[in-house]
Structure 1
Amino acid sequence: MTLLSSRSSNSKSQDADHLARIAIVGRGFTGIMTAIALFKRVDRPFHLVMFDPRAKIDIGEGISQPASTVLTSRVRDLSVDPELPDDFRRWLETDDTWRDRLISDPAGLEHAFVPGEIFSTYVYKRFAEALADRPDVIVQFGSDTVTAIDRHLDGGYSVFLGAEQRTRFDAVFLATGYGMRENSDTAPAGGAQSAVVIGGGIHAVDRALGLLADAKISHVTLISESGFLPQSHAPAAVGAIVTDQPMPGTLRGAFRFLREAAGKADLEGSGWQGIMNGFRSRARDLWAGLTPEERARFKRHVKAIYDSHRNRLPPEHYQRLHHAIASGAIAVRKGKVNCIATNGVLFSGPAGLEVLPADLTIDCRFRPSGTDSPLVRSLIVAGLATRDELEIGIVVDECGRTKASALHGLFAMGPLGLGSLPDIDLVPQIVVQSHAAASLLNSWIGDVAKSAARRQSL
């Protein structure tokens, strides 16, 4: 386990026994962002352990696949500091490595879409700076796989590493996509000319366009279960347009309201994106007021349409996608994949069951964490968490707390809370949530530190 701190090793060992212990499970963007927020918001010393079986800190992987893919959020929306919304843009303007690779007009830089590798460099630099400002904090990187979490007899939580080993922590942040998304490739050893990409979201489109750009794949079949694909960002960034009219409190009424407002905006030439941004800013209140029946109806009939309009492609990528579709390089099929084999997939479409042959198959589907992840299942069995009604994550509050009315110190950050908090899988929302969670933790971590000192003295 790698340990980072500016103090001597002897003082580290002695101090760690008296410090509040915090675990972050996952070192993608959400995990690194949570650590940055803890460094900035928690004003007492603490001992932080960041678990991830991957050998290196890979921020870009938490944003887009692969890391060199252009991100789907604009520069203006990618600051890691909610109090400095232009921090990323200012860093780009002053960094010699990246400045010349981007557009030359600083006035237009906030509208740009940048490669994931650039954003990864920025996030890691801010992480290193925030850590350097906290010589009173001990940080360790563990390569162990966290298999389960349960309550500890002395308070706090037991984090299980493998079948037997377990470690006690006062607070745990789940910042992981364990089981939530898997990009699995099945390809013959001799190479491939045709491919099937399963999924209708941004990651699936990324992979399909990337395969064609490599010039090794001549044709891609893109399978979208709903038939919907991501829409395009506006040519220039637009803010949230919120009308003065009250939004209906029912699912049917709310989306009729959205369609009418977006249609009017299109006729006026302002585009639907600003209307959608305004709708998203009110989506959490709407979701909280829906009945269980309406939430189930949203999952069945509306979610795919909603996701295709909130998760958008940069205009250039949207044009590339539809040019590839028009030219026949990408064929879009609506239906469900029943089975993946080495030479293709078994596919259920409007015409019934059929086999789609392919040399290469890539699965980019979003997988429900509640059923696919042993870690999440352990939380549910222990009564520490509840699956959301969409069955894609854990019920959380705005700060990411699970079972917020009964528990302290257990958080499910970012995409794990997507079924409770619309848009919590996007960078700006993850940044705000991380800082809110760290501020909340700071309000009671003093009591945790006192308890740790009492346990040590016994």
Structure 2
Amino acid sequence: MTKERIGHPPHPFDPARDPVHKRSKQGDSVGGAVVIVGGGYSGAMLAARLAERGVASALIDRGGDFGRGVAYATLFEGHLLNVRSARMSAVDGDPGHFVRWLETHRPDHADPDGFAPRRVFGDYVQHRLATVDAACPGLITRITGTVAAIGTDAVVLEDGRRLKARAVVLATGNPAPRTAPAGASERVIADPWAPGALERIGAEDDVLIIGTGLTMVDMLLMLEGRGWRGRATALSRRGLMPRAHGPRPDVPAPLEAGLLEGPLSGRLALARTVAGREGWRSLMETLRPLTADAWQAADPAIRGRIVRHLRPWWDVHRHRIAGSIAGALERLKADDRLTMTAGRVVAIRPGAASVSLDWTPRHGPARPALTADWLIDCSGPGHDPARDGLTGPLLASGRARMDALRLGLDLDDQGRVLDAEGRADDRLFVLGPPARAAFWETIAVPDIRKRIEAVAAALQ
């Protein structure tokens, strides 16, 4: 029994107790393993789950910091999880796994109803990967490198290495935003998560931010942590900011059948009624476990209406932030250091010492251009499979196709890529945020955890 489980009930998928593990395939090695492209949370925890099932995998990560990805690699302690610790277990069927780990390794953050630092969660993911690796020797191979191409039976790295693969899983996480042109000017920060991206911003500098969601929140917190005292103007289509979690975990409202069937307008009207009666947080708790199934059951027309009209409101209510972080943002607004603006980007005009943003307001007459010392693109992940170096060739060859709304690759309910004729490919899967077109809810740990189980079962 490993250290992390001493004094606790056995892990539900302990390799010593799991009969599947005893059926380890003798031929599985890097030469015929499942190749996982992307070593962040999704990829690393899939590799761990496959190992527990006796399936060998090769886990490839560009930077070699396996288990963290962009989300959990932050060094800033003020970047907190957006989900309470009690829901952040990386192990399906063992909801207390993360909290128990905190009790042993980081007791200062062991409150199950609290929001631990994201870097601490990254430590936890890496510890789980290492623990499974030690318990299942030889079944997880870590490879630091960049994938250049995906063939029908192999993955080719940029350095020329070729890995034979019985299946490939794309777990590449969230790409950088694409609204601001990369390399256009040193005054434009196109990738806010690039190492040292904010270091050039001075303590008194003003900033323009495209996007008012979670990435904007993270950048403002990081700037504040570095002693920044300037002003920020944030622009998005509707000027909406993520809502805050309540002081205590929310209790789901009673489920009414009309929320899941009938015309979308009627379901939305009922949702507003329930929110007014029970509270909107309780409504979101009711809908949270049902949304992926509801999305998959919806036809393209309904999905299109959801994306066009409902998604911005859904996102800010569904993906909430800790109350302490919401309080910090409200203080910035009260001090006239943060202005939220609704409108569309028309053009970005960088200069030698400043950058201007031409825009049109959502309502009302035209406004003058916004000008500041810096512009940060926080417009959200720039998912575009056709322009991606790995998925673009798959689309061009017909091995993959886009979904009807062009949100991402078209997948079946197991996460298998559908080819141009709609046939599922047993050798090619997508996991995590890039699977959003098929499952909608694929960015939060509780949702990815369930998808990991489905993909692992399909690869057994």
Question: Normalised by the shorter chain, which TM-score bucket?
Answer: 0.7 to 0.9
Q: SS of 1:159's equivalent? A: strand
- Deviating more after overlay: 118-127 vs 17-26: 17-26
Q: Deviations over 1:125-150 (max 9, x none)?
A: 1100001111242513131x223323
Q: SS of 1:336's equivalent? A: strand
TM-score (norm 1): 0.81
The aligned counterpart of 1:106 is none
The aligned counterpart of 2:117 is 115
2:143 to 141, 165, 169: 141
What is the alpha-carbon distance in structure 2 between the residues aligned to residue 261 and residue 435 of structure 1? 32
1:82 to 78, 92, 117: 92
- Deviating more after overlay: 315-324 vs 362-371: 362-371
Q: With a CA cutoff of 8 Å and minimum separation of 6, indicate the structure with the bigger relative contact order.
A: 1
2:395 partner amino acid: I
1:422 is the counterpart of 2:440:
yes
1:323 is the counterpart of 2:337:
no
TM-superposed CA distance for 1:190, in Å, is: 7.9
* Unaligned 5+ runs, structure 1: 1-13, 104-108, 152-156, 266-270, 443-458
The aligned counterpart of 1:399 is 414
2:315 partner amino acid: D
2:427 to 399, 409, 412: 409
- What is the total number of aligned residue pairs between the two structures? 407
1:285 partner amino acid: D
TM-superposed CA distance for 1:262, in Å, is: 0.5
1:162-201 → structure 2 map (5 Å cutoff): 162=158, 166-177=162-173, 179=175, 181=177, 184-185=191-192, 191=202, 193-201=205-213
What is the alpha-carbon distance in structure 2 between the residues aligned to residue 63 and residue 249 of structure 1? 40
Inter-CA distance 94–340: structure 2 relative to 1 (3 Å threshold): farther
Q: Deviations over 1:49-72 (max 9, x none)?
A: 222221433516234756631110
1:124-139 → structure 2 map (5 Å cutoff): 124-139=126-141
Q: Give the share of equivalent positions with the same residue, in percent.
A: 28
RMSD value over aligned CA atoms?
2.7
1:251 is the counterpart of 2:264:
yes
1:263 partner amino acid: G
The aligned counterpart of 2:12 is none
Between structures 1 and 2, the one with greater helix share? 1
- Deviating more after overlay: 77-86 vs 331-340: 331-340
TM-superposed CA distance for 1:358, in Å, is: 2.0
The aligned counterpart of 2:459 is 441
Check the 8 A contact 1:250/1:290 in 2, yes or no: no
The aligned counterpart of 1:355 is 369
The aligned counterpart of 2:220 is 208
TM-superposed CA distance for 1:411, in Å, is: 1.1
Inter-CA distance 346–389: structure 2 relative to 1 (3 Å threshold): farther
TM-score (norm 2): 0.81
Check the 8 A contact 1:398/1:433 in 2, yes or no: no
Q: Deviations over 1:215-260 (max 9, x none)?
A: 2242111222222111111211124334243333332222112111
TM-superposed CA distance for 1:163, in Å, is: 9.5
- Deviating more after overlay: 280-289 vs 178-187: 178-187
Inter-CA distance 230–358: structure 2 relative to 1 (3 Å threshold): same
Check the 8 A contact 1:335/1:347 in 2, yes or no: no
2:311 partner amino acid: K
What is the alpha-carbon distance in structure 2 between the residues aligned to residue 168 and residue 18 of structure 1? 7
Inter-CA distance 385–180: structure 2 relative to 1 (3 Å threshold): farther
What is the alpha-carbon distance in structure 2 between the residues aligned to residue 437 and residue 67 of structure 1? 32
Inter-CA distance 36–352: structure 2 relative to 1 (3 Å threshold): farther
What is the alpha-carbon distance in structure 2 between the residues aligned to residue 129 and residue 212 of structure 1? 36
Inter-CA distance 197–422: structure 2 relative to 1 (3 Å threshold): same
Inter-CA distance 223–36: structure 2 relative to 1 (3 Å threshold): same
What is the alpha-carbon distance in structure 2 between the residues aligned to residue 233 and residue 190 of structure 1? 30
Which runs of 4 or more aligned residues in structure 1 lie more than 6 Å from their structure 2 counterparts after TM superposition? 14-18
TM-superposed CA distance for 1:178, in Å, is: 6.0
Check the 8 A contact 2:258/2:267 in 1, yes or no: no
Inter-CA distance 345–50: structure 2 relative to 1 (3 Å threshold): farther
What is the alpha-carbon distance in structure 2 between the residues aligned to residue 436 and residue 320 of structure 1? 39
TM-superposed CA distance for 1:25, in Å, is: 0.8
2:282 to 271, 274, 284: 274
TM-superposed CA distance for 1:78, in Å, is: 0.7
The aligned counterpart of 1:9 is none
2:61 partner amino acid: D
- Deviating more after overlay: 216-225 vs 180-189: 180-189
What is the alpha-carbon distance in structure 1 between the residues aligned to residue 76 and residue 404 of structure 2? 32
2:358 partner amino acid: F
What is the alpha-carbon distance in structure 2 between the residues aligned to residue 406 and residue 441 of structure 1? 14
Q: SS of 2:124's equivalent? A: helix
The aligned counterpart of 1:447 is none
- Deviating more after overlay: 55-64 vs 279-288: 55-64
What is the alpha-carbon distance in structure 2 between the residues aligned to residue 219 and residue 201 of structure 1? 17
1:380 is the counterpart of 2:374:
no
Q: SS of 2:447's equivalent? A: helix
Q: Deviations over 1:297-354 (max 9, x none)?
A: 2222111111111110111111221221122111112123332625224231214364
The aligned counterpart of 1:73 is 83
